[in-house]
Amino acid sequence: MLEVKNLHVQVDDKEILKGMNITVAPGEVHSIMGPNGSGKSTLAQVLAGKETYEVTEGEVTFQGKDLLDLEPEERACEGIFLAFQYPVEIPGVANTYLLREALNAKREYRDEKPLKHIEFAKLAREKMKALGIDEDLLKRSVNAGFSGGEKKRNEIFQMQILEPTLAVLDETDSGLDIDALKIVANGVNSMKDSGRSFIVITHYQRLLNYIVPDFVHVMVDGKIVRSGGKELAYELEEKGYAGF
Amino acid sequence: MAIVFDGTRESYVERLSEFLDSGQKDAPEWITTLRREAISGFAKLGFPTLSDEEWRFTNLEVLRRGSFSIAENGISGVSKKSVDSYGFPGLDCLRLVFVNGRFASSLSDTRDAGKEILVKSLSEAICEQGDLVKDHLARYADYEKDAFISLNTSYFEDGAFVYVPDGTVFEKPVHVLHVSTDEGHPLFINPRNLIIVGQNSVAKVIEHYVSASQSVYFSNVVTEVVCGENANLEHYRLEFESQKAFNFSTLRVNQQKNSNIASHSVLCGGAIVRNNVHPVLGGEGCNSDIYGLFISEGRQHMDNFMRVEHASPHCDSRQFYNGVLDGRSKGVFHGRILVHEGAEKTDAKQTNRNLLLSDTAQIDTKPQLEIYNDDVKCTHGATIGQMDEEALFYLRSRGVSMRQAKIIMLQAFTAETLEHMSIDSVREVLEGVVMKWFEQRLQNGKGK
Ligand SMILES: Nc1ncnc2c1ncn2[C@@H]1O[C@H](COP(=O)(O)OP(=O)(O)O)[C@@H](O)[C@H]1O
Ligand SMILES: [Mg+2]
């Protein structure tokens, strides 16, 4: 589904990703762990198409297509979703408005009819209930004045509505208490299926108790330095990153 | 014989006698005296120059060189159908229509004014309610200090007269439509509006300036408003003049105790536009909410001049002005807040936000607080910026196209001011106009 080969990325002449490799097959859950500043968010943003990051070498294929050739909105329509580490606040744009626009853009891309208001409202209500999100969150401006936990849950809510093929969750667990963490994990687990993959970026092994990865990768200084099964997460928990 | 002004101060001064002889023969003596006084004000003032502190950012050279004349062709150029096209769908309102500053009674509709409510042309009111008009006309807009007010007071032909007596809740908006037409040479048009809202009364007035052609003209508007004790007025000034027109407008509001005004300005047309909003909070407990949106492109120049005068204690004022500028257009926001000595517990707030869509657009924003009392709360803030890249990326990462993402951001930005309008159909029409403007902008090479 996703293949990242020897990816080099720089910002302002500073190299951040230094030959990144990762292959994700349909239905798999991969976890990327690594210390602060190792380049995890950079990878996530590059996958989503952020233009401030310059790809200097390497390639990224997604479902057979050259991902780097696509605009961010095309990537989203192709099925990529990024849950931002720092979701952006957009005052004046209602959450529900963004979601409906996004969903309908995706439907249009697939030559489907736009969803009617009522249909959308019904869909949104169902998903919100499961995530324990208050309905007035829909009417509020996108992320504006949301608490840290609300922002993270809102990202998962968007993911549920947009039903991506590949979801990249960038530290969606940070700042969540254990109850919120379980809700978020449930939101992810309920979406698992054989055609959908996840890349779960996290700092802590904690989340992986709830979202069980098939593979764990350790990222240090812009590269994957070790890959393994979920037991690697426990090893990291004990030893820290110092050994890598 | 046409009355022609060659742009010089002298021509505007000297033509007054011709003007009085031609169309103003039947005017009451006091009006003629007023016009003469006003033109002597202009004779002293002349047009402002860049060295005038209040006109630092707006060059009037083209106006000083332009030749303009008083309209002669009457209202013939405008049909009922075209007037309807400037209306607001579904809005139940009264309508006063003026063509090149003259009343078009056949295009107007004032049937539904309540019994004691007066909605008519100012010239009619001068004949029929002379004493009432005399008590207020030119009492607030100072023709000795402001050249454009002097000229308007000298040369106005007509405008709206709205009178809501004490204790009257008049919910039906009055749509005052000023249409300009092309008479083959640049016109000098002086709409003059007078709005009187009595004690404990409510009124809504929509001043609307449009053009039936893309011609050059000089539209010089003065509106005086009296807002009685505990009265409530919502006022709109929608400026959609020709892209080649000069529009200078003054809204002068006299607010009495516990009165409320909400003023909405939307500026879209015009080559050089100056919008003066000047409420005087003259009694305790007044509230002024002043909203504005200006959108400019090409070489348009839009100068927003606020003068919020706190003359009494315990008054609140709020200014929210947003500008969207494209092309080589220039914007000015000059926000003056004047707090008089006795106006303790004043609470005045001013916000001006500007979005530049091109590298060549320019905005000068200048707050000016003049405070003669220690016990006040005044805040101001201005921002100038491009569209938020992070927000655009966030929207796009959800599948929204670049173009649509920009439109969403622009809509949100303009909604900050438009959302305060209480008349939904007016707001919706404006949202539509703004939207269309954005779409055109984005088509012209910006974004994808
Ligand atoms: N937009 C940017 N401009 C400059 N430096 C950046 C930018 N984004 C990330 N970096 C730098 O790249 C490195 C990796 O950052 P990041 O990808 O956020 O790491 P992580 O998510 O693993 O904590 C850090 O040193 C960070 O300062
Ligand atoms: Mg990060």
State pLDDT tens for residues B334-346.
999 999 999 999 9
**H helices within B86-176, ranges in order?**
122-128, 130-136, 147-155
| CA B338 distance to own-chain centroid | 20
Domain stops at, among B281, B307, B332 = B281
Same domain, B227 and B81: yes
Contact status, residue B58 vs residue B275, Cβ threshold 8 Å: no
CB B224, CB B252: distance < 8 Å: yes
pLDDT tens string A66-107: 999 999 999 999 999 999 999 999 999 999 999 999 999 999
Count of C-beta atoms within a 10 Å radius of residue A121: 15
Look at residue B332 and tell me if it is in a domain.
no
- Provide the number of structural domains found in chain B: 2
| Contact assessment for residue B333 and residue B362, using Cβ atoms and an 8 Å cutoff | no
Owner of token pair 């039947």: B26
Q: Say if A96 is an interface residue toward chain B (CB within 8 Å).
A: no
Closest C-alpha to ligand 1, atom 16? A39
- At B267-285, the pLDDT tens digits run 999 999 999 999 999 999 9
Q: How far is CA B93 from CA B111, B171, B203, in A?
A: 10, 9, 12
CA distances for B411 relative to A73, B84, B263, B434, angstroms: 20, 26, 20, 8
Question: Which among B281, B316, B341 is the end of a domain?
Answer: B281
Superfamily of domain A2-87+147-239: P-loop containing nucleotide triphosphate hydrolases (3.40.50.300)
Chain A's closest residue to B406, CA to CA, is: A93
Whether B396 and B258 map to the same domain: the answer is no
Do residues B425 and B341 make contact, with C-beta atoms less than 8 angstroms apart? no
Q: What is the pTM of this model?
A: 0.89
Place of tokens 């952006």: A88
Nearest to B47 by CA among B149, B137, B186, B139: B149
Range of the structural domain that residue B409 is part of: 391-448
* Domain spans, chain A: 2-87+147-239
Looking at the fold, whether B124 and B263 belong to one and the same domain comes out as yes
Answer yes or no: do B95 and B230 share one domain: yes
Whether A84 and B394 lie within 8 Å, measured CB to CB: yes
Quick check: is B292 in a domain? no
Asked whether residue B118 is assigned to any structural domain, the reply reads: yes
> Among B247, B263, B281, which residue terminates a domain?
B281
Share of chain B above pLDDT 90, in %: 94
Is residue A194 within 6 Å of ligand 1 at its C-beta?
no
Are B34 and B167 part of one and the same domain? yes
- Show residues of chain A in contact with B397, CB under 8 Å: 48-49, 72-73, 75-76, 81-82, 84
Long-range contacts of A171-175 (CB under 8 A, 24+ apart): A171/A40, A171/A41, A171/A85, A171/A201, A171/A202, A171/A203, A172/A83, A172/A200, A172/A202, A172/A207, A173/A202, A173/A203, A173/A204, A173/A206, A173/A207, A174/A85, A174/A202, A174/A203, A174/A204, A175/A148, A175/A149
Indicate yes or no: CB of A88 within 8 angstroms of CB of B415.
no
- One-letter amino acid identity for B225? V
Q: Which residue's CA is the nearest one to ligand 1's atom 17?
A: A39
Q: What is the per-residue pLDDT across B93-150, written as a single tens digit (0 to 9) for each? A: 999 999 999 999 999 999 878 778 999 999 999 999 999 999 999 999 999 999 999 9
